Amino acid sequence: MGVGFLIAVLPLVSFLLAGFGVLFGWKSFKRRSHYFGLVTVGTSLFLSFYVLFKVTKGVVLTEEWFNWVISGGLSASFGAYIDSLTAIMLVVVTFVSFFVHMYSIGYMHEDPGYDRFFAYLGLFTFSMLVLVLSPNFLQLFFGWEAVGLSSYLLIGFWFKRKRAADAAIKAFIMNRIGDFLFILGVVAVFWVFGSLDFHKVFSQAGAVSAATLSLISFLLLGGAVGKSAQFPLHTWLPDAMEGPTPISALIHAATMVAAGVFMVARCSPIFDGGYILPIVGAIGVITAFGAATVGLTQFDIKRVLAYSTLSQLGYMFAALGIGAYVYAMFHLFTHAFFKALLFLGSGNVIHAMSGEQDIRKMGGLYKYMKITAACFIIGTLALVGIPPFAGFFSKDKIISAAYANGHLVFWFFLVGGALLTALYMGRLVFMVFFGEERFDTREMKHLHESPAVMTVPLIFLAVPSIFAGFLGGWFEEFLKSSIPNHVREISHSAELLLITITVSLALLGLLIAAVIYYWKKISPEVFTESPVLRPIYLLLYNKYYFDEIYNFVFVRGVAFGLGRIYAFFDKYVIDGIVNGVAYFTSWCGEVLRLTQTGVVNNYVAYFGIGVVTVILLLLLV
């Protein structure tokens, strides 16, 4: 079968072993189910590095595991296509998943669904690996839907909590909207190209009209917008925080939301041939800037990080939209490490605070949790884009590319997003780890650093969060054989000026956050209670009222419309048929009753009329 088969299937083995334990109630498996995940995903991680090493030598690995569909002109198999793009994604997915597995041993230790959780983790990892290994659109769609199912199960893991169940349903439904467009795109690909194989489709893309490619790109983009939580299908991702924190790390860093960016990059020959790329970029910029503004007003530690993910995914889509596919993947690469680090760090904070997630009830945690605080600060500096941390290199590439390619409006809002990112992340760090303690120390007697099984993953994720950015030159050279990078050259002095502007604004954002939340020279109430600024604050705090609008238009609106249709159908169709049959039967009875008079003369007359009528009919015929 090949090494690609082993990389994908090993996490599935973990799912099956842990799942059988759950299904049959094997108590001996319950507290040992994490071993399945650690061994299988750890082995997949080792094999992923092995594959990466082989691909760096210019080798492209292809495998055919089995024929899946052979029907008429449609032929598709399950297999693996491992080029430089796939090799990078394999390392990212298995690396983050392995440390999420390790971290979950401590975080989920007391949870009654411990074994079920590790079973779902294996399924989630398998689904994403099948997706990135895909050699054709049909296998891609299988993995696409499998990660959707896995995220549904894990977001709603604590299904007895109404908010968790609602969040899972919301994520599932909103992704179905995007996936409906995506499957239409897959059908359109087969209709136009007569194949679903990537190599055959992409090699023929140049011979297809731009209008046709634009239609296919638009449909595929719909799926990417839903899966990667881009405007306007973005509202499910913040609510997904109702799931366990390790799952938040996995969804936001390496699996679910990364799928959309990966798919667009993989399908670059189709997107390059149409007119849709400016729309991709505009969606990314709107999401990047809009999510950053909302992040300024949130108080749930995980929701702040969720909006940061929305914003950073926006940067990736902006890069895709300007044709900088390599830079989009580079930011996905660095973002995976520091976003997993931030979410797992927030999990340590929540664990220490007995489940509390409101940052207004924290403060001064640095002296209790020095390792977590240090790792969280590293992740923050990487996210904000402060050199020499990883996020600086990848985000700066995107911002500079927007300017170089002449997208000055995109550049302006992306730079503004860098300022806002620094502001809300600085606010988060200062409110959580520094300043006064805003909690009852008598209720927090057990407040201490998390055990090694939860801090060691943070340390391992902190290392690439610091150093991964230095791989930028190698990364660009490595990926150019798989995906293009349409970025114009600019002078060294112009590039240096752009870097200076971006970094200066990021530092300014951190300084403003320190002035307000650390040195407390300005009260936040100046902005939240001001008659002029309060309406803006409420708009941002309520997330631009997207949930309320969607609820009114689609939930209530559809329910009201369907209710009216149902009422009409029930009253005039269902009841009309039933009552009509009864009325017709009654009417026939009334008519026939008129003939039953009991008078013999009438019966003789009826008989005579009948005989005459029959004779006339016979004569006419």
Element (H, E) at 348: helix 325-352
Query: Alpha carbon of 491 to those of 344, 400, 497, 503: distances in Å?
Result: 40, 11, 10, 18
Q: Are 41 and 125 in contact (CB under 8 A)?
A: yes
Q: Which residues contact residue 11 at a Cβ distance below 8 angstroms, ignoring those fewer than 6 apart?
A: 37, 40, 41, 44, 97, 122, 123, 125, 126, 129
Helices of type H across 231-300: 236-239, 245-253, 258-266, 268-273, 277-295
Lookup: tokens for 197 = 């194989």
How many angstroms separate the CA atoms of 250 and 118, rounded?
13
Q: What's the pLDDT at 566?
A: 60
Q: What's the pLDDT at 603?
A: 67
Q: What's the pLDDT at 408?
A: 96
CA angle 250, 555, 217 (to 5 degrees): 55
Q: Which residues contact residue 212 at a Cβ distance below 8 angstroms, ignoring those fewer than 6 apart?
A: 192
Largest Cα–Cα distance of the chain, in whole Å? Answer: 119
Lookup: tokens for 261 = 């960016």
What is the per-residue pLDDT across 52-80, written as a single tens digit (0 to 9) for each?
999 999 889 999 999 887 877 788 889 99
Crossing angle (nearest 10°) for helices 137-155 and 210-227: 20
Q: Are 513 and 422 in contact (CB under 8 A)?
A: yes
Q: What's the pLDDT at 557?
A: 64
DSSP 74: E
What is the per-residue pLDDT across 121-141, written as a single tens digit (0 to 9) for each?
999 999 999 999 999 999 999
Q: What's the pLDDT at 27?
A: 66
Q: What's the pLDDT at 306?
A: 95
Strands 61-71 and 74-82: antiparallel
Write out residues in the chain with pLDDT < 50, as ranges: none
Lookup: tokens for 274 = 């149409």
State yes or no: cis peptide before 388, omega within 30 of 0.
Answer: yes
In a 3-state reduction of DSSP, which class is residue 146?
Answer: helix
Q: Are 306 and 240 in contact (CB under 8 A)?
A: yes
Q: What's the pLDDT at 576?
A: 76
Q: What's the pLDDT at 586?
A: 81
In this structure, the chain runs to a length of 621
Q: Are 128 and 142 in contact (CB under 8 A)?
A: no
In a 3-state reduction of DSSP, which class is residue 611?
Answer: helix
How many angstroms separate the CA atoms of 165 and 158, rounded?
7
Lookup: tokens for 467 = 């150093």
Element (H, E) at 81: strand 74-82
In this structure, which long-range contacts are made by residues 175-178, counting pairs with CB atoms below 8 Å and at least 24 apart in sequence? Answer: 175/148, 175/226, 175/227, 175/233, 175/236, 176/226, 177/222, 177/226, 177/233, 178/222, 178/223, 178/224, 178/225, 178/226, 178/227, 178/233
Lookup: tokens for 84 = 């430089």
Q: Are 400 and 490 in contact (CB under 8 A)?
A: yes
Can you count the helices (H) and strands (E) in the chain? 28, 2
Three-state SS letters, 466-499:
HHHHHHHHHHHHHHCCCCCCCCCCCCHHHHHHHH
User: pTM above 0.85?
Assistant: yes
Q: What's the pLDDT at 269?
A: 96
Lookup: tokens for 402 = 């927007």
Residue with tokens 């502001």: 423
How many angstroms separate the CA atoms of 495 and 290, rounded?
26
Q: Are 85 and 266 in contact (CB under 8 A)?
A: yes
Lookup: tokens for 260 = 């959309």
Q: Which residues sit opposite 64 in a β-bridge?
A: 79
How many angstroms separate the CA atoms of 270 and 272, rounded?
6
Amino acid of residue 253: A
Q: What's the pLDDT at 442?
A: 58
